[in-house]
């Protein structure tokens, strides 16, 4: 299972070019997608799910070209959790999943096995008879994820799956996705960099409709090597000076002043010490701001 995207462009009627000649190959496993607000991630995912037609360029899924004649075939292979999903408020969790599974053409027998399995995996078994409108935001998100998994898709596209989840549930969902990605492709878009660090080895970073980076997480970390500095300053004025001149990936008030993680090619000042413990967040901020 692999997805190829060649010179993809999406231009909206109002002239906004949300995706601009973007090319990418998404292999098997979990593949991360990062990018600032408005970078074009959702637009790209909407094309990949066939909800939106590209203006130019080519997309293929396991060799099947994205064109209207193939949309039905492609849709059968895809599961999608959109950023905003409003599921039927008056149905119970279970009724909602049975209904949505039916809409996706999943056989009744399969639904009878898969629904209890995923309810258990997402800690929703005890809530299955509650009406959708009675659920918390995080629970609704988990039901949304189950509906995307019900047709056992080869290609799962998930937009912010962990938004609103408590830390324990976030970890559970991440692990569920890792297990699910064995022999399949999962495109995982999120602003929670930590979730990608815990699940992916490959990722792409979008900026203004194009890919600024695509490749291994280790390659991205390597790119920031020698550019992350630990600096402790004595007062707010010194901190402001650093903030005015560099990207800062963290800031903390400590006993002896203000500790800051400064991203810079050269040493910001003589009191700064090179930090070799680079996080994905440091590497992402370094790349997108340099
Ligand atoms: N239907 C639309 N019509 C016109 N412009 C749109 C439409 N949908 C999105 N855009 C614009 O396209 C650009 C990319 O938006 P998109 O939603 O794909 O970004 P994103 O990376 O998903 O952002 P976020 O992280 O905030 O969800 C933005 O400038 C947005 O305003």
Residue of the CA atom closest to atom 12 of ligand 1:
18
Q: What is the mean pLDDT of residues 135-140?
A: 90
The C-alpha angle 100, 167, 95, rounded to 5 degrees, equals 20
Q: Are residues 80 and 123 in the same domain?
A: yes
Please report the pLDDT score of residue 138 as a whole number.
87
The pTM of the full predicted model, rounded to 2 decimals, is 0.92
Residue of the CA atom closest to atom 2 of ligand 1:
12
pLDDT, one tens digit per residue, over 24-66 is 999 999 999 999 999 999 999 999 999 999 999 999 999 999 9
* Number of domains the chain is built from: 2
Q: Are residues 64 and 132 in the same domain?
A: yes
Ordered DSSP codes for 45-83: HHHHTTSS--SEEEEEETTEE-SGGGHHHHHHTEEEE-S
Q: Which domain holds residue 263?
A: 224-289
Domain boundary among 164, 185, 215: 215
Q: Are residues 209 and 241 in the same domain?
A: no
Mutate to test the pocket of ligand 1, among 11, 15, 19, 39 (most ligand atoms within 8 A of CB): 39
Residue 190: CB within 6 Å of ligand 1? no
pLDDT, one tens digit per residue, over 197-244 is 999 999 999 999 999 999 999 999 999 999 999 999 999 999 999 999
Q: Where are the alpha helices (DSSP H) in 134-228?
A: 137-149, 167-180, 193-199, 217-223
Residue 38: CB within 6 Å of ligand 1? yes
Distance 230 CA to ligand 1 centre (A): 36
Position 90 pLDDT exceeds 90: yes
Q: Are residues 9 and 26 in the same domain?
A: yes
CATH number for the domain including 285? 3.30.70
CB atoms near residue 116 (< 10 Å) = 14
CB atoms near residue 126 (< 10 Å) = 9
Domain boundary among 215, 245, 269: 215
Q: Are residues 75 and 188 in the same domain?
A: yes
Distance 211 CA to ligand 1 centre (A): 15
Q: Are residues 210 and 232 in the same domain?
A: no
> How many whole angstroms from its chain centre is CA 218?
18
Angle between helices 137-149 and 93-103 (to 10 degrees): 30
Residue 16: CB within 6 Å of ligand 1? yes
Domain boundary among 156, 189, 215: 215
Distance 40 CA to ligand 1 centre (A): 6
Position 1 pLDDT exceeds 80: no
Calculate what percentage of the chain has a pLDDT beyond 90.
88
Lookup: tokens for 8 = 């993809």
Q: Are residues 207 and 228 in the same domain?
A: no
CATH number for the domain including 115? 3.40.50.300
Q: Are residues 21 and 145 in the same domain?
A: yes
Residue 32: CB within 6 Å of ligand 1? no
pLDDT, one tens digit per residue, over 175-191 is 999 999 998 999 999 99
Please report the pLDDT score of residue 183 as a whole number.
87
Distance 16 CA to ligand 1 centre (A): 9
Q: Are residues 55 and 187 in the same domain?
A: yes
Q: Where are the alpha helices (DSSP H) in the chain?
A: 41-48, 71-76, 93-103, 108-121, 137-149, 167-180, 193-199, 217-223, 236-245, 280-289
Distance 37 CA to ligand 1 centre (A): 8
Sorted by sequence, the CB contacts under 8 Å of residue 129 that are 6+ apart come out as 92, 93, 94
pLDDT band at 84, cuts 50/70/90?
Answer: confident
Are 204 and 31 spatial neighbours (Cβ–Cβ below 8 Å)? yes
pLDDT, one tens digit per residue, over 155-166 is 999 999 888 889
Please report the pLDDT score of residue 163 as a whole number.
85
Lookup: tokens for 140 = 């609704």
Order across the sheet with 257-263: list the strands.
247-254, 257-263, 228-233, 273-274
Residue of the CA atom closest to atom 26 of ligand 1:
37
Mutate to test the pocket of ligand 1, among 10, 42, 193, 206 (most ligand atoms within 8 A of CB): 42
What are the residues facing 86 on neighbouring strands? none
What is d(CA 164, CA 270) in angstroms, rounded to the nearest whole number?
42
Residue of the CA atom closest to atom 10 of ligand 1:
18
What is d(CA 13, CA 17) in angstroms, rounded to the nearest whole number?
9
Are 104 and 111 spatial neighbours (Cβ–Cβ below 8 Å)? no
Q: Are residues 190 and 74 in the same domain?
A: yes
Residue of the CA atom closest to atom 24 of ligand 1:
37
Residue 35: CB within 6 Å of ligand 1? yes
Q: Are residues 19 and 139 in the same domain?
A: yes
3-state secondary structure of 102: helix
Q: Are residues 178 and 211 in the same domain?
A: yes
């Amino acid at each position: 299972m692999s997805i190829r995207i060649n010179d993809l462009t999406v231009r909206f009627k109002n002239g906004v070019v949300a995706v601009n000649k973007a090319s990418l190959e998404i292999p098997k496993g979990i593949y991360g997608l990062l990018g600032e607000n408005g970078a074009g991630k959702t637009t790209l995912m909407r094309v990949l799910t066939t909800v939106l037609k590209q203006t130019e360029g080519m997309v293929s899924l396991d060799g099947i070209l994205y064109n209207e004649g193939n949309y039905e075939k492609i849709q059968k292979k895809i599961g999608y959790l959109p950023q905003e999903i409003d599921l039927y408020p008056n149905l119970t969790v279970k009724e909602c999943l049975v209904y949505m599974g039916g809409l996706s053409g999943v056989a009744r027998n399969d639904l009878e096995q898969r629904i209890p399995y995923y309810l258990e995996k997402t800690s929703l078994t005890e809530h299955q008879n509650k009406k959708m409108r009675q659920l918390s935001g995080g629970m609704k998100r988990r039901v949304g994820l189950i509906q995307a998994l019900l047709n056992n898709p080869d290609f799962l596209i998930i937009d912010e799956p962990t938004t609103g989840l408590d830390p324990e549930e976030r970890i559970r969902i991440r692990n569920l996705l890792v297990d699910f990605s064995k022999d399949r492709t999962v495109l995982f878009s999120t602003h929670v960099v930590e979730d990608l660090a815990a699940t992916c080895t490959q990722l792409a970073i979008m900026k203004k409709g194009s890919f600024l980076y695509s490749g291994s997480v280790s390659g991205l970390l390597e790119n920031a090597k020698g550019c992350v500095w630990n600096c402790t300053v004595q007062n707010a004025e010194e901190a402001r000076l650093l903030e005015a001149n560099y990207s800062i990936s963290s800031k903390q008030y400590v006993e002896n002043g203000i500790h800051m993680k400064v991203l810079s090619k050269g040493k910001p000042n003589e009191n700064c010490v090179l930090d070799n413990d680079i996080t994905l967040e440091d590497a992402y901020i370094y790349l997108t701001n340099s």
